[in-house]
Chains A and B, each alone.
Chain A
Amino acid sequence: MVEKPKVAFYWCASCGGCEEAVVDLAEGILDVVQAVDIVFWPVALDFKVKDVEALEDGSIVASFINGAVRLSEQEEMARLLRRKSKYVIAFGSCSHLGGVPGLANLWDKQSIFNWYYHRAPSVASGGEEPRERVEVPEGTLELPAFWDTVKSLDQVIDVDYYLPGCPPTPKLVAAAVQALLRGDLPPRGSVLAGTRALCHECPLNETKPEKLLLKEIKRVHTVQVDPSKCLLAQGILCLGPVTRGGCEALCVKGNMPCTGCFGPTDEVRDQGGKGIAYLSSILDFDEESDLQRVLEAVPDPVGTFYRYSLPRSILKRTREVKEHA
């Protein structure tokens, strides 16, 4: 019998939604399982790290790694899988750009620990900080180190391809797996999704005005969304024009604006910088006081424009970190 190509899945700092996306292949997963041999998938299969270590270097055809890198253990696992794999695919926004966990880069380890283990209401009686080594009668217990900074996968290891999205859609996952199996892959470093902005594939694109000028930005929870009209035309800040397509406008179809999980298009280097340029060009005010008033609807520019990509921003937080919350 011909040996089936080996595939591994791993998760780093993530919510588990990307694992769910694999399961969302539904019966499609049976085709995948038939075609490949899954050698490592902590969330679903009982293989251990030592099983991966025992494999020959480069013997895994592809490792799909989701989640950002926040802990020493995640970095070690990423390096191990890199060594064992021919291709590493950054799976999902967190792995691709740093993702939502990457917003923690507004703070550092100490300010996060101060809040979560000492000051938060749930630990107000005094919390215990996790320590990397704890001595107990039975011996020494070890925990992974918690880094100051959350990183995207490609800031830790070489990444061959990116599957964007929070999470990637089953369609894109299936297409990527098939491309891998056929050996029909685009140039290394490609993002395996659309190359144009989301608006091009949005069903509401026809209702988008030729020239967008907004007098007001509405936050989505304060309005009744008209599902037949471009959200921008309704004054809702949708990041479709500055976000890579490929998801087929899932959020917009659910009456929610695009928040940019596929990241920017190939031409853009910094998602947040581009987001600012975009919003600035559609505001229909010239007076500073008017602008300040409108911008109150965007109380958190970092969280709005870098929601999925702060670790990949050109900007890094300055040394004086503000206290959390």
Chain B
Amino acid sequence: MKAEQEFQPKIVAFVCNWCTYIAADQAGVTRARYSPNVRLIRTMCSGRVDPQFVLAAYEKGADGVLLCGCHPRDCHYREGNYKTLRRYLLLKRMLAQMGFEDGRLRLEWISASEAEKFRRVVEETTEQVRRLGPLRGNGGV
């Protein structure tokens, strides 16, 4: 009964085709169990994720957004993930000004071989956003 009443956050994860998407696939192949709250959106590079995509995710009902890309120096396109890092830092500050809690946007580097890290990050993010509660109820978008 309690589990049914528990808030189920919606998390949008933008995952890079060359690393985290493969890690997520791997997590599936190894039958790793993780929360079904996350919705994956595959992009060719984390650097493809315009901050407007993140804002649109919140607008469409996401309670949290996860950005995942290749580790520094591992970008398939050499520097896309660095652009992601810069955008993330700026966006984070802007969201804070608008009153967004820190945990609603997270950036993680997850390589193709890190299926276990992917599982852990999804679990942690889900729990964290669950604790923060719904974004819409909070007037965020």
A residues with a Cβ closer than 8 A to B are: 106, 268-270, 272-274, 276-277, 279-281, 283, 285-286, 288, 291-292, 295, 298, 300-302, 305, 313-322
* Cα–Cα, bound, A268→B55 (Å): 13
Judging by beta carbons under 8 Å apart, are A273 and B55 in contact?
Answer: yes
- Inter-chain CA distance A298–B140, complex, in Å, is 23
The residues of B that contact A286 with a CB separation of less than 8 Å are 72, 79, 82, 85
Beta-carbon contacts of B47-70 to A below 8 Å, as 1s and 0s? 000111011101100000000000
Are B93's CB and A314's CB within 8 A? Answer: no
Asked whether any CB of chain A lies closer than 8 Å to the CB of B141, the reply is yes
Complex CA distance for A281 and B91, rounded to whole angstroms: 13
| Inter-subunit contact A273/B138 (CB<8 Å) | no
* Cβ–Cβ contact A277 & B82, under 8 A: no
Closest beta carbon of chain A to B82's beta carbon, Å: 4
Contact A301 B93, CB 8 Å, known A273-B52, A315-B58, A318-B138: yes
**Cross-chain contact B52 with A300 (CB below 8 angstroms):** no
B55 near A270 (CB under 8 angstroms)?
Answer: yes
Is B85 touching A288 in the complex (CB atoms < 8 A)? Answer: yes
Instruction: Point out the residue from A276, A285, A319, A320 that lies within 8 Å of B90, measured CB to CB.
Output: A276
Closest to A313 in B: B55
Which residues of the other chain, A, contact B89 by a CB distance below 8 angstroms? 288, 291-292, 295
In the bound complex, do residue B85 and residue A320 qualify as a contact, i.e. CB atoms below 8 Å apart?
Answer: no
From B52, which residue of chain A is reached at the shortest CB distance? A273
A298 touches B98 (CB 8 A): no
Please report the C-alpha to C-alpha distance between residue A316 and residue B138 in the assembled complex, in whole angstroms: 10
Are the CB atoms of A301 and B55 closer together than 8 Å? no
Is A276 touching B139 in the complex (CB atoms < 8 A)?
Answer: no
Bound together, the chains give a CA A313 to CA B101 distance in angstroms of 18
Going nearest first, the 9 A-B pairs with the smallest beta carbon separation are A318-B99, A280-B86, A273-B52, A273-B51, A319-B139, A301-B94, A314-B55, A280-B87, A286-B82
On whether the beta carbons of A295 and B138 are closer than 8 Å, the reply is: no
Decide if A320 touches B99 in the complex (CB within 8 Å): yes
Distance between Cα atoms of A298 and B90 in the complex (Å)? 9
Whether A316 pairs with B139 at a CB distance below 8 angstroms is yes
Q: A315-B58, A319-B139 are in contact. Are A295 and B97 (CB under 8 A)?
A: no
B34 interface residue per 8 A CB criterion: no
A281: chain B residues within 8 A (beta carbon): 83, 86
Q: Which residue of A lies closest to B100 (CB)?
A: A318
Whole-angstrom distance from the CB of B87 to the nearest CB of chain A? 4
Complex: chain B residue closest to A285, CB-CB: B86
Q: Which residues of A lie under 8 Å from residue B141 when comparing CB positions?
A: 314-316
Beyond A286-B85, A305-B94, whether A277 also contacts B140 by CB under 8 A is no
Task: Kindly report which residue of chain B lies nearest to residue A281, judged by CB atoms.
Answer: B83
Q: A273-B54, A276-B91 are in contact. Are A302 and B98 (CB under 8 A)?
A: yes
